[in-house]
Structure 1
């Protein structure tokens, strides 16, 4: 049985507006319709429209100019080229990765993953768990979970590393298309299994990057929990002030 999880309304609206920028409906340099016009055109509430615009401004598709309105900037090169943890996890070639697969099979679904995939909290889901090492030291544990309907006709169940990335394999075998990724970063204590793989204590915190990869409709195709030892991480970002 396949479960579909709809993306929030503001995400779907942002995707629609982004598509219109890409196809030239809203050309770069032009003025985007006002919030009132967007509310009427899409039949959505003002808070939904505002959140969608904030998302597109944050990612560089739009720019606000006081006293003038919201300007279309077009496809932001910085966003497309930015090295992000989610993209790395999705496009990592298992056969060339500096590490090894430590588990392939059914596991009890973590609560956060259950809500995203739309499965009962006590259900079991399929996982591919990859341990990344650097000069013999464990530096990352990447656990990728999939909806049950995506397993048929793929090699995801094989215990050998895939020749290529999970994304490329799924797009080729299942004819799906990955459209966007949401990353949720949090600090937490590791599970006993995570601590064992990473060679650390369960009392030491880890940084968890939950990567949710969806198709254009917002349905989750893959959820990857990237777990990193907390004492070896530092977050840094550089961005432009408008």
Structure 2
């Protein structure tokens, strides 16, 4: 119930109540919510107040307006576990999604700058970058660095852009990661990432940085994933948890 005596504005109270109804399943994803006229009558509010409330939820991507049809609960974006060690393509496949990829940079040798914040700083490495799209919408950029001593001549027989790099490394070099580290943070899109992902420069993006160890080569693969979070929900499966 809304409280006219509360210091919280009525439109915020209504926005919170509608959001709670959505979380509780009263309005399912894709369902049309009552019209502004119906909500105004139900809560004894003016239509401008109702419009303010629904606009809050539209900005939060909880609701979406469809011209000539009304206001609907936004469909939940697909959820993908990008934090596993099984590889990006496999993570999408497990969710029943097909990630289409193309090379932005084919595998080539490069000199990594000494001031780079990564294991290959000041050293030579193989580098590659590819763009992943879901239903023709770009969703992420993967930038890879490989240890040339662990994966010699990788640039001479590279996998195709749609191939799993994890599977290629495993089959060609009989190598499987034994562990690794990863971190994630929010970064603002630079001009290059913005152009590739079809966004405006400065758009917030999720950056996942992953370094993989192999039994005979620690920190042999370093990957930076730049992710557009407006298209997907990125999650992490913690598996079975045992408490002592």
User: What aligned pairs does 1:15-26 form with structure 2 within 5 A after superposition?
Assistant: none
CA–CA distance in 2 between the matches of 1:216 and 1:172?
16
Distance apart, 1:175 and its partner CA = 3.7
Gaps of 5+ in 2: 1-79, 92-97
- Tell me if 1:142 matches 2:142: yes
In structure 2, C-alpha distance between the alignment counterparts of 1:141 and 1:101, rounded to whole Å: 10
Secondary structure in 1 matching 2:176: coil
Partner of 1:101: 103
Q: Please report how far the alpha carbon of residue 193 of structure 1 lies from its aligned counterpart in structure 2 after TM superposition.
A: 1.5
The alpha-carbon deviation at position 118 of structure 1 amounts to 4.0
TM value normalised by structure 1 = 0.51
Q: Is structure 2 residue 91 aligned with structure 1 residue 89?
A: no
Question: Could you say which residue in structure 2 is the equivalent of 1:117?
Answer: 119
Judge conservation of contact 2:206–2:229 (CA < 8 Å) in 1: yes
Residue of structure 2 in register with 1:20 after alignment: none
Per-residue CA distance 1:114-165 (angstroms, 9 max, x = gap): 4442431xx66422212111121101111111123244243x4557616742
Check 1:173–1:139 CA distance in 2 against 1; reply closer, same or farther (3 A cut): same
TM-fit CA distance, 1:89: 3.0
Higher helix content, 1 or 2: 1
Which position in structure 2 is the counterpart of 1:190?
A: 189
Distance 2:114 2:237 in 1: 33
Unaligned runs of 5+ in 1: 1-81
Aligned counterpart, 1:202: 201
Distance (whole Å) between structure 1 residues aligned to residue 90 and residue 236 of structure 2: 22
Q: Matched residue of 2:172: which SS?
A: helix
Aligned to 1:169: 168
1:236 to 1:152, Cα distance in 2 relative to 1, 3 A: closer
Q: How far did 1:226 drift? A: 1.0
Q: Is the 8 A contact 1:151 1:157 kept in 2?
A: no
Secondary structure, aligned partner of 1:149: coil
Q: Match of 1:221?
A: 220
Largest Rg, 1 or 2:
2
Kept in 2, the 8 Å contact 1:153–1:174? The answer is no
| Distance in 2 separating the partners of 1:190 and 1:164 | 26
1:205–1:158 CA distance, 2 compared to 1 (3 A) = farther
- Indicate conservation of the 8 Å contact 1:107/1:127, yes or no: yes
CA distance in 2, matches of 1:111, 1:231: 34
Counterpart in the other structure of 2:128: 128
CA drift at 1:189: 1.3
